[in-house]
A = this chain, B = another copy of it.
Amino acid sequence: MEFPLQILPIGGLGKIGMNCMLVGARDRWIMVDCGVQFPPVTLIGAERILPDTATIARWRDKIEAIVITHGHEDHIGALPWVLPVLDPAVPIYASRFTTRLIEHRLSEHGLWAPSRMRLHMPGERFDAGPFEVEPIRVTHSLPDCSALALRSEYGTILHTGDWKIDAEPLDGEHFDHAAFERLGDEGVQLLLSDSTNILSPGRTRSESDVARGLPRWVDGWAGRVIVTQFASNLHRMQAIAGIARDSGRQLVFCGRSLWRYYDAAVASGRPPFPAGSVIDIEDAKGLDPSRVLIITTGSQGERRAALARAAEGDHRHLVVGTGDRVIHSARVIPGNEADVYDMFNQLSLRGADLVAGRHTDVHASGHACQDELADMFRLVRPAHFVPIHGEYTFLRGHAELAKRCDVPATTVLQNGERFGVRAGTTRGSVADTARLDIELLDTLYNDGPVTADADDLHLKERRRIAWNGLVLVDVTLQRDPEGRLNGDARVQTRAMWDDGGTLPGALAVVAERAVHACPPRTPIKEVEEAVAASVRRAVRKATDKRPDVIVVLHQGRAH
């Protein structure tokens, strides 16, 4: 085989999320990460988007291990759907903290099997499939994040996972520059690096900057302070807990997922602050507002999350009003802006003071900006580069940056493109690599108990009916003494304007006329079609819409 080192991205390339990649050497493979993608707000009918399990199933016999870089949902969230198509003996390697998050997810689906879990630790090498894997500590926005150096006799692939270079990490766990540099000295055939923040120049803020910036919004505020953040960001939690302590405020959690991540940190032996120093919102009644600091979920205005419900006056325990200050310690994920602004407006209308926006310094991204991405190239000096984790335009942008950083060969891939690196190359040229094959990936959608593709979930039909509506025409057919057809029609409409209730009656008349216009011996199927066509025309004329028209015909009893 000319190209023994290979990758097959299943997800994560071209759209943000659903990170999942097969990495192989001489046709022995491992899976790196196994995440979901959260659908855009415009998609109706699915809660999550999943990697194509049918394709993964075809690779089943070749996949010898799963290795997880960190515990975000877009890296572990698809495990409940992917594990069932893999050999149950395949081990899952993850850090201590990530393992606790995986335990939670898999337990929900009755799939938790501690025996298949293997702990990995930064710097401690282990064998997985054809690779000797070395997790290398990176900083990101939750604990225990690793890049993966995948060494094999044919060369080394470095998969960065998600990362930034936080010079002052709150948990004291530093980005391991030295390990990357050592790896660079050793020689890396293929670098795969996170493209999420390629559009942002400069460097990301440190979590310590946020920890220093937040107090100015808390100190001197006489009422309650409510901070909303991503639940997984234990570092942010730690910073806020410190501010609560320093300002003499009781720390309060509002939102179940905060507890989930906090508990995972406790269970992995590194709580971000002492147990007992936080209480739940249910137990926070009657406290002096000036002595309260609440952390809440719902930073994206998600309708069912705590802060959005509080904004709608619909949360049992979190009632927001005058005197409250709400700090939005998160970015707005693109696409969520309208929901987030609606939430902000509602909170303001209730009298809350709002601290939000780019210029308030209350958030730090977890992803490397351009200067850090360039640092990675300089540290690792890869022979080849494939940008991962990002919109397709981000991957293209990251490729441009690689060029400016003198990376000798870069290829922008899409999900499903299998890509190989020639054995033993240490300085890259495009001739040393090849696009080998394309797996035509299906997109899977999950909606509660149902997982299916777009057709089977009728995703297009949902939008079409929501925009155009549905008309049900129920006709009882009769023949008059001359054998001519008569119909008695009842019409119901759904999901459409019905002219204050008068449209159905008007359409019933249209349907009855259509029946009456049919010659005596018209086959029933043709009567049905004639009714549907007439009703469709009449709706079109009245509303300019093309609803689904369902005609149900029955032979009536003779009068």
Contacts and interface: CB of A to CB of B under 8 A. Distances in A.
Interface of A: 14-15, 40-42, 44-45, 199, 201, 334-335, 337-339, 341, 344-345, 347-349, 354, 356-359, 391-393, 396, 414, 447-450, 452, 456-458, 461-463, 465-467, 469-470, 472, 474, 476, 492, 494-498, 500, 542-545, 548, 550, 552, 554-557
A473 to B, nearest CB: 10
B392 A465 contact: no
Could you tell me the dominant secondary structure of chain A's interface residues? Answer: mixed
Given A341-B393, A345-B391, 9 more contacts: A15-B345, A45-B467, A354-B393, A354-B396, A447-B545, A458-B496, A461-B495, A462-B466, A557-B557
Nearest to A340: B334
A35 to B, nearest CB: 18
A178 to B, nearest CB: 32
A552 B554 CA distance: 11
A393 B461 contact: no
A344 B391 contact: yes
Contact of A500 (B456, B543, B552): B456
Contact of A338 (B334, B476, B548): B334
A337 B331 CA distance: 14
15 contacts: A44-B44, A334-B338, A335-B337, A344-B391, A345-B391, A354-B393, A450-B497, A456-B497, A458-B469, A461-B494, A465-B470, A465-B494, A474-B552, A552-B552, A555-B557
B201 A359 contact: yes
Contacts of A497: 447, 450, 452, 456-458
Nearest to A40: B338
A45 B201 CA distance: 40
Contacts of A450: 497, 543-544
B393 A495 contact: no
A328 B476 CA distance: 58
| Max chain B Cβ within 10 angstroms of own Cβ: one of A345, A469, A496 | A345
Nearest to A396: B348
Contact of A42 (B41, B201, B543): B41
A476 B555 CA distance: 10
B470 A470 contact: yes
Nearest to A43: B338
A452 B499 CA distance: 9
Copies of the protein in its oligomer: 2
A398 to B, nearest CB: 12
B458 A494 contact: yes
Contacts of A15: 345
Closest 6 pairs between A and B when the two form their complex, measured CB to CB: A334-B337, A335-B338, A466-B466, A448-B544, A345-B392, A40-B338
A391 B457 contact: no
| Max chain B Cβ within 10 angstroms of own Cβ: one of A44, A391, A556 | A44
Contacts of A469: 458, 462
A497 B42 CA distance: 18
Contacts of A556: 554
Contacts of A467: 44-45, 462
A460 B555 CA distance: 36
A447 B468 CA distance: 10
B345 A495 contact: no
Nearest to A357: B199
Contact of A470 (B349, B414, B494): B494
| Max chain B Cβ within 10 angstroms of own Cβ: one of A465, A492, A544 | A465
A352 to B, nearest CB: 10
A169 B552 CA distance: 65
A44 B466 CA distance: 7
Contacts of A452: 497
A40 B447 CA distance: 23
Contacts of A396: 348, 354
Contacts of A41: 41-42, 338
Given A466-B466, A496-B458, A341 B391 contact: yes
